[in-house]
Amino acid sequence: MSEALIKVEGLKKYFPVGGILFTKGWVKAVDNISFEIRKGETLGLVGESGCGKTTTGKLILRLLKPTAGKIYFDGEDVTKLRGKALKEFRRQANIVFQDPYSSLDPRMTVFNIIMEPVRIHKIHVDDPEEFVIKLLYEVGLNETHLYRYPHEFSGGQRQRIAIARTLALRPKFMVLDEPTSALDVSVQAQILNLLKDLQRKYELTYLFISHNLGVVKYMSDRIAVMYLGKLVELAPAKKLFESPLHPYTKALLSSIPIPDPELAKSKERIRVSGEPPSPINPPPGCRFHPRCPHTTERCRREEPVLKEVEKDHFVACWLYA
């Protein structure tokens, strides 16, 4: 088993609610989660909208300041980094955003978009144009795209440019925040295969955030399931899909569409009633208990912790206490 590149311990992020002078409450976007991402692996992070997936990714990259907890990158606590040390960390850890059109400056050419982080980090390049062209070939583009603007490209091509910009710094770790959700299905497959090829070539480590469970299964070595700011299950991808343990995970997996109508009829659907509770005032005990079909009195009173119940399979549920 390879050692961890990213290690998160007791990570919290609370956002204040209310005016400038008086705080009426706190949105508990990420609430005391711990996990690790091993070198060279892809950890998938799934869950409903608003559960804290993107916030977790931004916290790891120090784009947001944690309320509490520790984040270790290659053994170093990045929550304590400042100035040049923080800048160097951000060269090694980067992000590909969901919408490439909004993450690319429409007034800059492809050449300037890719060279911008290189200039910011003062990385010496002998021939900038040749450097950018080589990166474009890496992501399936070529020199004819060098001096075009983002509006001249398709969605898939724009995402390739965003990936090339990230690769320009030769990072060790990348957060992929819904990198294919804005793309057509055929283009999604191309981008996913590109990301896999780049991971093998450069020994990259990924945190892959997505709502698309089929995509997460294809990309991930392990998958973490998040609900209302908490991790409720963490397991190897194959094991999670074949034998999920947490009731919420089972409901998520049962919602995956099946293209064969006959098979779809025979598949049992697990329906979860109600809406997720407010992160401002989460329920006591297990946060899933108001919607869970297996709720007990203990679930309402005590909060379960994420613990290993099978080899490399962790779950936070009193059914497995």
For residue 219, which of 198, 233, 245 has the smallest C-alpha distance? 198
Residue type, 125: V
Q: Are 252 and 241 in contact (CB under 8 A)?
A: no
Q: Facing residues of 234 across strands?
A: 224, 314
Q: What does the alpha-carbon distance between residue 108 and residue 111 come to, in Å, rounded to a whole number?
A: 8
The model's pLDDT over 159-203, given as tens digits with 9 standing for 90+, comes to 999 999 999 999 999 999 999 887 888 889 999 999 999 999 999
- Cβ-in-10-Å burial (0-12, 13-18, 19+) of 159 comes to buried
Q: Tell me if 231 sits within 8 A of 43, measured CB to CB.
A: no
Provide the pLDDT for residue 261: 66
If we measure between CA atoms, which residue out of 157, 310, 141 comes closest to residue 240?
A: 310
Is there a contact between 253 and 244 (Cβ–Cβ < 8 Å)?
A: yes
Q: Which residue has the tokens 């890719």?
A: 114
| Two structure tokens written together for 57 | 């990714």
Contact 132, 126 (CB under 8 A): no
Residues linked to residue 12 through DSSP beta bridges, in sequence order? 31, 68
pLDDT-derived band of residue 304, with 50, 70 and 90 as boundaries? very high
For residue 118, give the amino acid letter: V
Instruction: Give the mean pLDDT of 269-276.
Output: 76
pLDDT single digits (tens) 218-267 = 999 999 999 999 999 999 999 999 999 999 999 998 887 766 666 655 56
HEC profile for 280-316? CCCCCCCCCHHHCCCCCHHHHHCCCCCEEEECCEEEC
Q: What's the whole-model pTM score?
A: 0.92
pLDDT given at position 15: 93
| Beta-bridge partners for 223 | 44, 235
Strands (E), 123-240: 173-177, 205-209, 222-227, 230-236
Alpha helices in 139-184 (DSSP H): 155-167
- Strand arrangement of the beta sheet that strand 76-77 belongs to: 23-38, 4-18, 68-73, 76-77
Residue 108 pLDDT > 90: yes
Tokens of 100: 């490439």
Per-residue pLDDT tens over the stretch 55-105: 999 999 999 999 999 999 999 999 999 999 999 999 999 999 988 888 899
With residues binned 3-state (H G I as helix, E B as strand, rest as coil), the percentages for the chain, rounded to 5, are 40, 25, 40
Average per-residue pLDDT for the chain: 91
Which H or E run contains 132?
A: helix 128-138
Domain map of the chain by residue range?
247-321
| Residues paired with 235 in a beta bridge | 223
